Structure 1
């Protein structure tokens, strides 16, 4: 029971966090227009596509992880989302999140890999539906798929703004 309760708590915490984070991109101050402008400033082209892609993926992956449904693919989505965030918004800002660093996105991505390692637990829709969610290949698949998707997206769509004179590097 302890393992299953623990996985429910971890999945719920991480899932709700990303679900709400995606919802804020769509419905928070500035809405999708503000998210689009922010993504444009990061160098993601076309920004309107990436704003909607990130928003939808965060909402879906968050909901799926909360429910323990398609847990492996949801964990892969977390890895990809957090890697894109680390390499765009948090890049070059050090480790600590209070300085804009990668601390937060690194933690979120690694917890998702940890969930892929142990599976969602018995109190999940994956278990109720009889989906196989354990085995050493799940975390490998989550990392490979997430990193592959992130690098593919960045390779095709990331055009960072040129540094201006006086920018700290």
Structure 2
């Protein structure tokens, strides 16, 4: 029971946080238009596409982790999202998040991989449905799959702005 409670707390920290990040991309500040412009400034083109893909992935993966459903796959989405963030928005700013660095995104990605390894616990939909989407192999899927997906996205769509090249 202690482990299940700890995993629930972890899911309730990670999942809603990512849902709110996705919601902010859609409904916060400048909405999807502002998010698209921000992605364009990071070299992710076309920005309108990346704004929608990122927001949608954050919303879906966040809900899945919160519910403990398809945990290994949701963790892979977390790793992919955080890797893209680390290599675009946080790149070249050092480790510490208070200086714009990649500390936060690394922590989130590693926590997601840990969740893929341990599983979401007994208080989850994976457990209720008997879905075996966790364990060491799923941790590897989350880590390697997320890194590969981020690498593919950046290879195909990233076009650095002129002063970055």
Q: Do the two structures share a fold, i.e. TM-score over 0.5?
A: yes
Name the count of aligned residue pairs.
164
Q: Contact 2:72–2:134 (CA<8 Å) still a contact in 1?
A: no
C-alpha distance in structure 2 between counterparts of 1:55 and 1:138, whole Å: 24
- Structure 1 stretches of 4+ with a deviation exceeding 2 A read none
C-alpha distance in structure 1 between counterparts of 2:41 and 2:99, whole Å: 19
Q: Contact 1:120–1:133 (CA<8 Å) still a contact in 2?
A: no
> Does 2:99 match 1:99?
yes
Tell me the residue number matched to 1:50: 50
C-alpha distance in structure 1 between counterparts of 2:69 and 2:102, whole Å: 28
C-alpha distance in structure 2 between counterparts of 1:32 and 1:40, whole Å: 12
The structural deviation recorded for 1:160 is 1.0
C-alpha distance in structure 2 between counterparts of 1:135 and 1:19, whole Å: 24
The structural deviation recorded for 1:162 is 2.1
Tell me the residue number matched to 1:162: 162
What is the DSSP-based 3-state SS (H/G/I as helix, E as strand, rest coil) of the residue aligned with 2:83?
Answer: helix
Tell me the residue number matched to 1:110: 110
Using the size of structure 2 for normalisation, the TM-score is: 0.97
Q: Which moved more, 1:132-141 or 1:147-156?
A: 132-141
What is the DSSP-based 3-state SS (H/G/I as helix, E as strand, rest coil) of the residue aligned with 1:133?
Answer: coil
Using the size of structure 1 for normalisation, the TM-score is: 0.95
5+ residue gaps, structure 2, are: none
Tell me the residue number matched to 2:71: 71
> Does 2:165 match 1:136?
no
> Does 2:102 match 1:83?
no
The structural deviation recorded for 1:136 is 1.6
C-alpha distance in structure 1 between counterparts of 2:95 and 2:105, whole Å: 10
C-alpha distance in structure 2 between counterparts of 1:106 and 1:158, whole Å: 20
RMSD: 0.9
The structural deviation recorded for 1:23 is 0.2
The Cα offsets for residues 74-98 of structure 1, whole Å up to 9 and x where unpaired, read as 0000000000000000000001111
C-alpha distance in structure 2 between counterparts of 1:28 and 1:98, whole Å: 22
